[in-house]
Amino acid sequence: MRHGKYRFIVGFLALPLGLYALFVVWPFIQSIYYSFTDWTGLSPDFQMVGFDNYERMLDDDIFWKSLWHSLLFALVLPVLTLGLALFFAFMINVGGRRRKGGPAISGVRGSAFYKIVYFFPQVLSIAIVSLLFAFAYNPDSGAINSLLRGIGLDGVQPLWLGDPGLALWCVMAVLVWSTVGFFVVLFSAGMASIPAELYEAALLDGASRATTFFRVTLPLLWDTVQSGWVYMGILALGAESFAVVQIMTTGPGGPDYSTTVMVLYVYQKAFRDGQAAYATTIGVALLIVTLAFAAIVMRLGRRERLEF
Amino acid sequence: MKTTETPATPPAESGATVYKTDQDPAARRPSGQREGTVLNVFSHGVLVIWAIMVVMPLVWAVMTSFKDDGSIFGSPWSLPDRLHFDNWARAWTDAHMSDYFLNTVLVVGGSLVGTLVLGSMAAYVLARFDFPGNRFIYYLFVGGMSFPVMLALVPLFYVVNNMGLLNTIHGLILVYIAYSLPFTVFFLTAFFRTLPTSVAEAAFVDGASHTRTFFQVMLPMAKPGLISVGIFNFLGQWNQYMLPTVLNTDPDKKVLTQGLVQLAVSQGYKGDWSGLFAGLVMAMLPVLAAYIVFQRQVVQGLTAGALK
């Protein structure tokens, strides 16, 4: 054994592991423990109450609303975002074929430009993006409604974020806007590694673009799509949806709780209502939803791995 | 370029009918040519529309930041009557954008250095040394990537509070580092494994200590990986909203994202919408500029994680 190996290992791991344990692991363990207490967060005293918080949660209408909205975020958002991104990436990388004199397979003209521009929103803070769109959605003087007026649609002036039926979709649209570019670039990288011969063979067989996409591109890209889905779902259940909902919709989470999501509800219970224990209970539910989501997507998406 | 739609099955052209199959019109070369043209127009159209949808809100924000309050609400889409640079000056000083900027630079600067140093130390040990518990510690770190941060935030608030680190810059730095470690360790462990062992062993045989070997041989070799993961963390930490919202409520210590949201929400900045827009654009410009300059590295850094 080399001299000083263990001293070195301990010396190098102590600080990162200590910091991680103190600020990440320990609070996680604590929060599960707190979910069985009646801790308010305001005073140091609390008692064990068993499953009371969990029973209360199951009777809480707002919890169910927030759960439903979070599920919508985790299911609808990735479908929209990944679907759009796949379409754009395919157009950018493969869609330009049959250009005279060029290679059989290529992107449309200006594909590099599109990739750069589409990625813009990804580098912006979701908080700043949310603020910007909150202004744009303003029903009276916002950019969107005045654009509608400008093109003669005076009758179409939705309340957007003020309309309980629309607010959630408005918020989701912002997340789609800000994340599509990332996946366009991600899928482009994946598509670039698919050998051109496969496309040429498909072309010789007379496959249309739709056929090429569903028979060649998508199967070979499946692994990337799947991990993209999990990644997007975890984001949509967590930090991203917190920022958009907290910033863009007013009051308790949109008109009539129409945009409340689980992360926001945890935040409100803990830091606004002084119900820290109940907040951690909802947090545990969020953890279960997140893990279940990842497990289900991984299982449903499992396919025979294609080698190329 | 033709912009008119062609029927789903393009009219047969002489000489091409030989190849005709009902299922697949693209098999006939001449009309396949035409299908290509139409689809090119269509795909280009969609790509252009999305590009406009991405750029327009940003252009609108820049435009609005140069207008006076009256025209922001009166005619959101008109060009500014003149360039109101006073909005920018007001935002920078009166609205404390300069303070938020400084706070953000301090927090992100400190935590970025800390994340890279601590992350690479842990990753190097986990990648290169066999010791009991190696796998456990690795999965403990990596597991942190999929847990909802909000769950830990409630107890974390009290951990940070008890240590007297609430509302401090260095407290935020430590927490940022802790929450950046999962991905950083995950990414850099994989990276250190790909580096050749011979160089490090030669250095060790020459009498360099483990520590010296790490800092003088391995770290310089890991530069590409450090840059990728550094950009990823820079953007993540610069754009962080949830952690400071919970752990940092002192108005003087606010970072850019929460400062802007605070301005928009509170009445403290009564009615100065033009100043607020100037602040928004101010916060967007540095990252957009950095993205345009370091475009390739940013894309690599951000997609590196999701690709594997």
pLDDT of chain A along its 308 residues, tens only? 455 788 889 999 999 999 999 999 999 999 999 999 998 887 778 888 889 999 999 999 999 999 999 999 999 999 999 999 999 998 888 776 554 555 556 667 778 888 889 999 989 999 999 999 988 888 877 788 878 877 777 777 888 888 888 889 999 999 999 999 999 998 988 888 888 888 888 878 877 778 888 888 888 888 889 888 888 888 888 888 888 998 888 766 777 888 899 999 999 999 889 899 999 999 999 999 998 998 888 888 776 666 55
Q: For position B197, what pLDDT does the model report?
A: 80
User: CB–CB of B47 and A91 under 8 A?
Assistant: yes
Six-digit token string for A118: 């589409």
- Could you state, in chain order, the average pLDDT of each consecutive group of 10 residues for chain B (308 residues)? 39 38 42 58 84 92 85 75 82 87 95 96 93 93 85 89 92 95 93 85 83 87 89 90 90 90 69 83 88 84 63
Six-digit token string for A302: 């499992």
Within 8 A of A124 by CB-CB distance, chain B residues are 239, 284, 287-288
User: CB–CB of B306 and A92 under 8 A?
Assistant: no
Within 8 A of B49 by CB-CB distance, chain A residues are none
CA A245 to chain centre: 13
Cβ–Cβ contact B58 with A under 8 A:
yes
Q: Output phi, psi for B251, to 5 deg.
A: -55, -30
Q: For position B4, what pLDDT does the model report?
A: 39
Q: For position A97, what pLDDT does the model report?
A: 55
For residue A261, give the nearest of A273, A248, A274 by alpha carbon.
A248
Q: Which residue of B has its CA nearest to A265?
A: B150
Q: For position A230, what pLDDT does the model report?
A: 87
Q: For position B305, what pLDDT does the model report?
A: 59
CA of B53, closest CA in chain A: separation in Å? Answer: 8
Q: Which residue of A has its CA nearest to B213?
A: A8
Chains A, B: CB pairs < 8 Å = 288
Q: Output phi, psi for A59, to 5 deg.
A: -95, 0
Q: For position A235, what pLDDT does the model report?
A: 85
User: CB–CB of A189 and B156 under 8 A?
Assistant: no
Angle subtended at Cα B88 by Cα B87 and Cα B90, rounded to the nearest 5 degrees: 65
- What letter would DSSP give residue A105? S
Residue written as tokens 């400071």? B244
Select from A1, A2, A24 the residue whose CB has the most chain B CBs within 10 Å, as the one to mutate to test that interface. Answer: A24
User: CB–CB of B125 and A12 under 8 A?
Assistant: yes
Q: Quick one: angle between helices B97-128 and B273-293, nearest 10?
A: 30
Q: For position A77, what pLDDT does the model report?
A: 92
Cβ–Cβ contact B78 with A under 8 A:
no
For A48, the 3-state DSSP assignment is strand
Burial of B261 (0-12, 13-18, 19+ CB in 10 A): buried
Q: For position B6, what pLDDT does the model report?
A: 38
For B247, the 3-state DSSP assignment is helix
For A4, the 3-state DSSP assignment is coil
Six-digit token string for B306: 């999701």
CA distance linking residue B48 with residue B51, whole number of Å: 5
Q: Output phi, psi for A2, to 5 deg.
A: -65, 145
CA dihedral B301, B306, B307, B308 (to 10 degrees): 100
Q: Which residue of B has its CA nearest to A235?
A: B148
Q: For position B306, what pLDDT does the model report?
A: 57
Residues 145-184 of B with CB under 8 A from A: 146-160, 174-175, 177-179, 181-182
